[in-house]
Amino acid sequence: MRKMILVLVTVLASNVAADDSVKGARATLDNYFDAFNSGDLQRVANEIYSTPLHQGLGTEHNVLATPEDALQQLTGFHKGISAQGWVEFRFENVESCVLTEDLVLLDTQYASVFKKGPESFETMTTMLYVLQRSEGSWKIISYYRHDGDTRPTCG
């Protein structure tokens, strides 16, 4: 009986830790989208990204070694999409996978909203974000664009 209670307590404690990990990682991802949408690229580069950061963007892979490298890349990307009429990124679906208490995968489907004249349109992107907690703070350590039909599963 004592062993069964210990197992039950251990399972419950690990579920609570996993829930807390997902909440912390998701809050960081929400902060990331809010900062990018508002143009606060300094906050993204210095507080949300952990450098070096690995980007997997289809067949192109990049490593942003420093916050300065990240800021330069973010600035160019933000200017480029803004010139195309980009308005915001908006989450449609987020799935989580807790690898450890301090390492979480968040697989997102999000809309890129564009406005050209009176008309607006959206494009969908699926991205897998890898977030790690270090010294109590969650940061994005890498992300990968992938086909929306093949989302990773946890288990």
pTM for this predicted structure: 0.85
Determine the Cα–Cα distance for residues 105 and 131; give it in Å rounded to an integer: 6
Paired tokens of 111: 């809309």
Which residues, in sequence order, are CB contacts of 61 under 8 Å at separation 6+? 54, 55
- For 29-85, how does the pLDDT look when each residue is reduced to its tens digit (9 = 90+)? 999 999 999 999 999 999 999 999 999 988 899 999 999 999 999 999 999 999 999
* Residue 37: predicted pLDDT: 97
Give the count of alpha carbons within 13 A of 32, CB side only.
23
Closest CA to 33 of 143, 147, 136: 143
Domain 2-145 has CATH 3.40.190.80: no
